[in-house]
Homo-oligomer: A and B are copies of this chain.
Amino acid sequence: MILRSAIFAAATRVAPHVRHTPVITVEGELLGLNFPVQLKLELLQNTGSFKPRGAFNRLLNATIPEAGVIAASGGNHGAAAAYAARALGVKAEIFVPTSTPATKVNRIASYGALVIREGETYADALAACRSRQFETGALDVHAYDHADVLAGQGTVGREFEMDAPDLTHILVATGGGGLIGGMAAWYAGSAEIISVEPETCPTLHTALLSGRPVECAVSGLAADSLGARQVGALMFPIAQAYVARAVLVPDGAIAEAQRLLWEQLRLIAEPGGATALAALTSGRYVPPAGARVGVVVCGGNTDPGKISQP
């Protein structure tokens, strides 16, 4: 289990490097809902996603060898690890699959990291990364399945509670489960945490049904950020204890949530960043009457030209 004290410590450690992102209250009618929603705009985080929280907490809590750091990623974690490595003056090698969009590859390279495109999925890139790590001895910065990464992502929960202390239900997208694991550890039952995944990447949904993390086929619109084949071993018991529900949404609902975020709020979310909101706007998740609902909009690394115009 990740303790709240570890998340507190992470918040202090990463504070000089990450942005305390804003929360805005959105009237329900703008989103076709009959209740307001508080959005945590984690897409305005440095590097365009929540990932630097975990990456900095991992790097700042480790001794980094001469070989620097190494990571596999669908893109966002790689950008965060590269950004953190540059900030701390160490080398980074980042493995991404060939499916990672150009926006993300360019972002990683812009931070001075060496980018290696290897395999078709995140799992393939991870395998290649592990072989290379064995050769170089670089510090392996896992995208989600490490206690320091989970604690770092948990700082999203701490900030959300500071700025919106009245929330009763919080929707979070799940990929490998670092963000939702950290947030569920922070709230520890004091608010209901709702996992949202694409129907085509149902890793936590399947794991909770099976009683253990299991491999799933992953594909679809949000697979470059939510396309881990299996949730992390560390997050799973936290999810069993503190994730109230695991909801699935179709890709069409994700695209519609992206469109609403742009049309009504002038926010560009990537598919994975709009997935949590999609559970509400599609009606796949309907909170109980009187709920005070929060949603994490967790990433914006996409080509803005792909958002459909009204």
Give A residues with C-beta under 8 Å from B.
Answer: 19, 21-25, 30, 41, 43-44, 46, 48, 103, 106-107, 110, 262, 265-268, 300-301, 303-305, 307, 309-310
Contact = CB atoms under 8 A, between A and B. Distances in A.
* Main SS class of interface, A: mixed
A266 B268 contact: yes
A52 to B, nearest CB: 12
> Which of A107, A300, A304 gathers most chain B CB within 10 Å?
A304
For this chain, the copies found in one complex come to 2
Nearest to A301: B266
Contacts of A310: 103, 106-107, 110
A303 B304 CA distance: 9
Contacts of A25: 19
Contacts of A265: 44
Given A107-B310, A309-B103, A304 B22 contact: no
> Which of A110, A266, A300, A309 gathers most chain B CB within 10 Å?
A266
A47 B109 CA distance: 36
Nearest to A110: B310
Given A24-B22, A110-B310, A310-B110, A266 B103 contact: no
B304 A307 contact: yes
22 contacts: A19-B24, A21-B24, A22-B22, A22-B23, A22-B41, A30-B46, A44-B265, A44-B267, A48-B266, A103-B310, A106-B309, A106-B310, A110-B310, A262-B304, A266-B268, A266-B300, A266-B301, A268-B304, A303-B309, A304-B304, A304-B305, A304-B307
A266 to B, nearest CB: 4
A46 B25 CA distance: 11
